[in-house]
A and B are shown apart, each in its own frame.
Chain A
Amino acid sequence: MDWFKRSKPSLQAQNKKELPDGLWVKCENCGEIIYRKELDKRYHVCPKCDYHFRIGSDTYIKLLTDEGTWQEFNANIKSADPLNFTDYKKYSEKYALTVKKIGFNDAVITGTGLLEQHKVVFALMDFRFMGGSMGSVVGEKISRAIQKATKEKLPLIILSSSGGARMHEGVLSLMQLAKTSARLTQFAKTGQPFISLLTNPTTGGTTASYAMLGDIQIAEPGALIGFAGPRVIKQTIGQDLPAGFQRSEFLLDHGFLDMIVHRHELKQRIANLIEFFQSKN
Chain B
Amino acid sequence: MAEKKSKFVLEFEKPIIDLENKITEMREYAAKSGIVLEDDIRRLENKAGQLRAEIFQNLSRWERVQLARHPERPYTLDYINRMCSYFDELHGDRLFGDDPAMITGLARLGDMTVVIIGQQKGRDTKDKLRRNFGMPNPEGYRKALRALRLAEKFNKPVVTLIDTPGAYPGIGAEERGQAEAIARNLYEMAQLPVPIINVVIGEGASGGALGIGVGDRILMMENGWYSVISPEGCAAILWRDASKAPEAAEQMKVTAQDLVDLAIVDEVIPEPVGGAHADPDKTAEILKEVILRHLSELVKIPPKKLIEARIEKYGRMGAWTEE
Interface residues of A (CB under 8 A from B): 76-83, 85-88, 135-137, 139-140, 143, 165-179, 181-186, 204-205, 207-213, 226-228, 232-233, 236-237, 241-242, 245-246, 254-256
Interface contacts (Cβ under 8 Å), in number, total: 193
- Is B226 engaged at the interface, CB distance under 8 Å to the other chain? yes
- Is B251 engaged at the interface, CB distance under 8 Å to the other chain? yes
Measured CB to CB, the closest approach of chain B to A73, in angstroms, equals 12
Measured CB to CB, the closest approach of chain B to A166, in angstroms, equals 8
Determine the residue in chain A with the shortest Cβ distance to B259: A171
Q: Are B315 and A136 in contact (CB under 8 A)?
A: no
Determine the residue in chain B with the shortest Cβ distance to A237: B170
- 9 new A-B pairs (CB below 8 Å) besides A76-B322, A205-B228? A177-B210, A178-B210, A179-B315, A208-B211, A212-B184, A227-B174, A228-B169, A236-B168, A236-B170
Chain B residues with CB under 8 A of A228: 167, 169-170, 173-174, 178
**Candidates B180, B318, B322; contact of A176 at CB < 8 Å:** B318
Contact with A along B165-185 (1 / 0, CB 8 A): 001111101111111101110
Give complex CA distance A139, B320 in Å.
10
- Is B151 engaged at the interface, CB distance under 8 Å to the other chain? no
- Is B321 engaged at the interface, CB distance under 8 Å to the other chain? yes
Q: Are B322 and A171 in contact (CB under 8 A)?
A: no
- Is B35 engaged at the interface, CB distance under 8 Å to the other chain? no
Interface residues of B (CB under 8 A from A): 167-171, 173-180, 182-184, 186-187, 190-191, 206-207, 210-211, 213-214, 226-229, 234, 237-239, 248, 251-254, 258-259, 262, 264, 310-311, 314-315, 317-323
List 9 interface pairs A-B (beta carbons < 8 Å), by A numbering: A78-B321, A78-B322, A82-B318, A165-B228, A171-B228, A171-B259, A172-B319, A177-B210, A178-B186
Q: Are A174 and B315 in contact (CB under 8 A)?
A: no
Q: 8 nearest interchain CB pairs?
A: A136-B318, A228-B169, A82-B319, A182-B190, A207-B179, A181-B186, A227-B179, A212-B183
